[in-house]
Amino acid sequence: MFCRNCGKAIDDRAVICPHCGVPVRQEAPRNKLGFGLCIAGFVLSLLSLWLGVYYCVASIVAIVLSAIGMNIAKKNGDSHGLGTAGLVIGIVSLVLWIIVLAAVASAVNAIL
């Protein structure tokens, strides 16, 4: 591995860097919140495609979760592909919902 302070190659078992004397810290467990939110947003965006009455709300929540998850994941250097997918699917399902609502509204207007 490489020293975080001076960047020189050091033994994987080293506790202190032999080059600069700085203690070698093990990789801290990464915050998986961003990745989790990406997954939640992605799953919710898929659910929102057939949630019927809750369509619109689920889409908006999916978009928000995906966007937040993507930002956190990006900062942490985690993969945020699912967040992007959740964001896109969430927006698509929201647009579909608006089209359906507009169609229903105009149909109702035509009948009345």
**Which residues bind to Zn ion, rule: CB under 5 A?**
3, 5-6, 17, 19-20
Which of residues 22 and 103 has its CB atom nearest to Zn ion in the complex? Answer: 22
In whole angstroms, the minimum distance from the beta carbon of 4 to Zn ion comes to: 8
We find the least distance from the C-beta atom of residue 15 to Zn ion, in angstroms, to be 12
Is 9 or 110 the residue whose CB approaches Zn ion more closely?
9
**DSSP assignments along the chain, one per residue:** -B-TTT--B--TT-SB-TTT--B-PPPPPPP-HHHHHHHHHHHHHHHGGG-GGGHHHHHHHHHHHHHHHHHHHHHHT---HHHHHHHHHHHHHHHHHHHHHHHHHHHHHHH-
Q: Of the two residues 19 and 32, which places its CB atom closer to Zn ion in the complex?
A: 19
Minimum CB separation of residue 12 from Zn ion in Å reads 14
